[in-house]
Structure 1
């Protein structure tokens, strides 16, 4: 499942990877428009996730997983062949995000349905950790292919690996969920579960920060490299930053098992906010300093991911786990959509990607997102939920 997910993630950052050098200048986009275009993926995901993920409480999740993986491939290849401007790009990228909505959380449901309860925490963390590893490969592949063959081929070629997950899903032993009555989109049981909901809103804050930095990572390192003396190029930095998220997520979950989830997540998110502020206010001073801070940030940003998702899965009522996952992913990708766009608007407001003050503002916004996560965890505990 982790290998299949990596294949499904190869197109994941194709738009952010190709925006600075190709899409923004070719289509004459502002940074806010570019951020909105990149966020179309998350918008498509957000709109489809409640239906597709909740449906896994009624039919075998592997069937949804096959459908989503096929649509993920179709949307990405379609972008490479047909996108001609912001509107068509948003429609096709939104379709790709819709497909991924049928792959990520339904894939998690397909996995947890086939695990004994005691196996779930570490297995879920490996699965969520593979997410970041796949995104790191996406940064690497998309930039290298675009530089060598043009941005359209970056979409066409990375649109094929999602088909790997269709074969993985097809090979899974069928599992039939217990019969369920009532409406499909009955999210009320999940919304009443304040323990799971607290993790989901904190996860949204994590996603806001994560996709804020991922959407603009290539552009940011272009600014750093323009000052001279950058030890690494944007291709290596973006791939390394994202690939480190896999061990970071696993280590973060182990920390949560030792300290307790609430305490560990709060510590990681506040540390991440502090590092984001340090990056923003020292950007342009020294490429080596920025690189060191970015490597620290590569651990703090995803360090809470596995603990947040495994915490939600553990807190969810088994009868409504699909509904809880639907809420979790919908909240996460709603914040994701906001992250890429809001950072783009901040860059426009402060003079664009060539200005140090613009990046100070951008990373301050990311820090604010991370710092809100512990507030939601405090709310869920104060409401009587346990950690």
Structure 2
């Protein structure tokens, strides 16, 4: 069993990265879409937010069924949805409503691949190795994010935005082929269980677990901040770049900075899980969320500072936001019982990506109400709003997670 852990984990991480190639393509090209389609910042926030709504609407059902069928089957279904979403976006998206619809389908595809992919691995390895596997797998979400930003920036510049989504669809197909060949089907005894759907999706068992719910709620706040930051990062950097008259064309472009920030965040997530093993998850997550809140409260007001300094601050903020990601998911897995792990991860993902819905949207609304993102104060208030919301995470941990649970 031990000899299979590394190749299985690496394959799952590679597949995760490939299926996420289109996940942040729209935010990566956001300034161009705003101009080309005449979108407001609120509309752009809706398109990004409804991607996560598609995730939230489907992840309870898909993850709930991984407790009684092989998660590999759910994962392959998610790949199919991902291919349909990005192929459709490439060929048919032409404005707000069509982009919104295909983004919802893309979110459902992510619901079928992200956490089911983790469950697919966990069901095939020993309990003692699961903490580090969770850390590496969830950290690779940032690798998928980085790849999405990087490919979108390069391909759009050369061939246009539609080719970005065609490549994303092809990458998902490749991931499906790799897993289809490389991961053997698992016979699950609960597959023959005739339990009704309400028992498969018994959220009450999760809600009664205070330790799990404390970390789950904190994860929702983490996701609010993370996805808002990633949605608006390229636009913020473009604003900062335009505000700096001394900047030359030799500087890295916003999509490249976003790629680097996601790569650094991946490392931060792994390091954060190791810190949590030493400090305890509750204490480690509380400290990092408070630091993240502090940085967010001032970041937007620095847009007119020298561009290199803004880049440094953005990278620092990316580290702070991502440092607790793997630790939160690992803490939820540890708090769940083996028989409720699938439905617990479903609630975990659902609450997290509810934050993903409202974080980008709320930040877009703040931008529209405070000057359409055309002034320094507008960006300052937008990022400061993330800092205010971020305080709810440590509060949830304080009131819900006991010492033994953290």
- Provide TM-score, normalisation by structure 2: 0.92
1:325 pairs with one of 336, 345, 350 = 345
Task: Please state if 1:299 is matched with 2:310.
Answer: no
Partner of 1:199: 215
Partner of 1:218: 234
Partner of 2:22: 11
- Structure 1 runs (4+) deviating above 6 angstroms are none
Equivalents in 1 of 2:239, 2:81: separation in Å? 35
1:385 deviation in Å?
6.3
1:164-203 equivalences under 5 Å are 164-170=174-180, 171-179=182-190, 180=193, 181-182=195-196, 183=198, 184-203=200-219
Task: Please state if 1:234 is matched with 2:258.
Answer: no
Partner of 1:65: 75
Partners of 2:366 and 2:378 within 8 A in 1: yes
Partner of 2:130: 120
Q: Look up the SS of the partner of 2:275 in the other structure.
A: helix
Q: Look up the SS of the partner of 1:285 in the other structure.
A: coil
1:360 deviation in Å?
0.6
More displaced stretch, 82-91 vs 307-316:
82-91
Partner of 2:3: none
Equivalents in 2 of 1:40, 1:386: separation in Å? 33
Q: How many residues align?
A: 385
Equivalents in 2 of 1:66, 1:351: separation in Å? 44
Partner of 2:99: 89
More displaced stretch, 111-120 vs 282-291:
282-291
Partner of 2:59: 49
Partners of 1:141 and 1:158 within 8 A in 2: no
Partners of 1:53 and 1:106 within 8 A in 2: yes
Partner of 1:80: 90
Partner of 1:159: 169
1:245 deviation in Å?
1.1
- Provide TM-score, normalisation by structure 1: 0.96
Partners of 2:153 and 2:256 within 8 A in 1: no
More displaced stretch, 158-167 vs 131-140:
158-167
Equivalents in 2 of 1:370, 1:163: separation in Å? 37
1:207-356 equivalences under 5 Å are 207-228=223-244, 229-230=246-247, 231-356=251-376
Partners of 1:224 and 1:287 within 8 A in 2: yes
Q: Look up the SS of the partner of 2:295 in the other structure.
A: helix
Partners of 1:54 and 1:323 within 8 A in 2: yes
Q: Look up the SS of the partner of 1:174 in the other structure.
A: coil
1:159 deviation in Å?
1.9
Q: Look up the SS of the partner of 1:79 in the other structure.
A: helix
Partner of 2:388: 368
Partners of 1:46 and 1:329 within 8 A in 2: yes
CA RMSD after TM alignment: 1.4
Q: Look up the SS of the partner of 2:391 in the other structure.
A: helix
1:363 deviation in Å?
0.7
Q: Look up the SS of the partner of 1:161 in the other structure.
A: helix
